[in-house]
């Protein structure tokens, strides 16, 4: 698992970027519009009504969720701290919820929103706790700049929560008559969370590879006892 975790993290990012591009290019929305990260929610790419490649997208979400779970579990092999253990548990729960996001599409509004919101909440908590561990706990070998990078996920999610939600009700009521603003801050902040998270996963994965290489060369990691 120690060797698999960083590759799972990298694969998670590559899968997400790939299926998003594949789904976004042919997307035609309810108003006949093309897809834009500035005014569309991520989950709209999984719509069975408007996304012609929704099967690819939703399948990719499920695969990426499994990869995220493996990546998160891999923290145990690099950092033996209390906060790491807690963040792993929460991260695994969030990855399970994300599988549900891929299986329950946005047409099923209430369960989908519940799964998606729960995933974002728990994922943010997991990233925040591990980032705090990097920042404050000496036995965590990851560099401090990755802690501050992780905190951007926390900040982005906080901003997302603070965004006005009124346009969502207008969109639901007006349907095809609804005109999206050029920049709709609520979905745009969701994309900001996404990019902050995936870039953090990618950089953490690269550092895992580096730490694993150092341990093979004879450098002792604080968590080597867990990896054996």
**pLDDT tens digits, one per residue of 110-141:** 999 999 999 999 999 999 999 999 999 988 99
Q: Is residue 228 part of a domain?
A: no
- What is the rounded distance in angstroms from the CA atom of residue 131 to the CA atom of residue 134? 5
* DSSP-assigned states of every residue in 179-219: ---SS-HHHHHHHHHHHHHHHHHHHHHHHHHHHHHHHHTTP
The residue assigned the tokens 């009124």 is 166
Does the reported pTM lie above 0.85?
Answer: yes
Six-digit token string for 18: 């790939």
Residue among 15, 38, 77 at smallest CA distance from 187: 38
Q: Is residue 165 part of a domain?
A: yes
What are the pLDDT digits (tens) for 77-111?
999 999 999 999 999 999 999 999 999 998 898 99
Q: Is residue 220 part of a domain?
A: no
Q: Is residue 87 part of a domain?
A: yes
Q: Is residue 167 part of a domain?
A: yes
- What is the rounded distance in angstroms from the CA atom of residue 25 to the CA atom of residue 34? 8
What is the span of the domain harbouring residue 10? Answer: 4-210
Confidence of residue 225 (pLDDT cuts 50, 70, 90): very low
pLDDT of residue 218: 62
Q: Is residue 194 part of a domain?
A: yes
What are the pLDDT digits (tens) for 174-196?
888 888 999 999 999 999 999 99
Q: Is residue 139 part of a domain?
A: yes
Count: domains in the chain: 1
Q: Is residue 215 part of a domain?
A: no
Mean pLDDT of 29-50: 94
């Amino acid at each position: 698992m120690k060797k698999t975790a960083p590759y799972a993290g990298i694969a998670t990012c590559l899968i997400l970027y790939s299926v998003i591009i594949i789904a976004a290019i042919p997307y035609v929305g309810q108003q006949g519009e093309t897809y834009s990260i500035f005014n569309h929610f991520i989950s709209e790419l999984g719509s069975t009504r408007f996304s012609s490649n929704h099967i690819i997208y939703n399948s990719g979400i499920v695969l990426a969720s499994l990869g995220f779970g493996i990546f998160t579990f891999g923290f145990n092999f690099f950092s033996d701290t209390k906060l790491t253990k807690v963040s792993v548990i929460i991260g695994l729960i969030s990855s399970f919820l994300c599988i549900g996001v891929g299986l329950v599409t946005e047409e099923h509004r209430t369960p989908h929103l519940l799964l998606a919101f729960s995933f974002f909440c728990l994922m943010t908590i997991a990233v925040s706790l591990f980032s705090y561990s990097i920042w404050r706990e000496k036995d965590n070998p990851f560099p401090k700049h990755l802690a501050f990078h992780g905190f951007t996920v926390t900040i982005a999610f906080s901003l997302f929560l603070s965004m006005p939600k009124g346009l969502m009700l207008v969109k639901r009521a007006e349907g095809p008559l609804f005109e999206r603003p050029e920049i709709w801050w609520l979905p745009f902040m969701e994309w900001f969370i996404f990019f902050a998270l995936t870039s953090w996963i990618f950089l953490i994965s690269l550092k895992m590879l580096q730490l694993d290489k150092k341990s093979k060369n004879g450098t002792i990691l604080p968590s080597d006892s867990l990896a054996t």
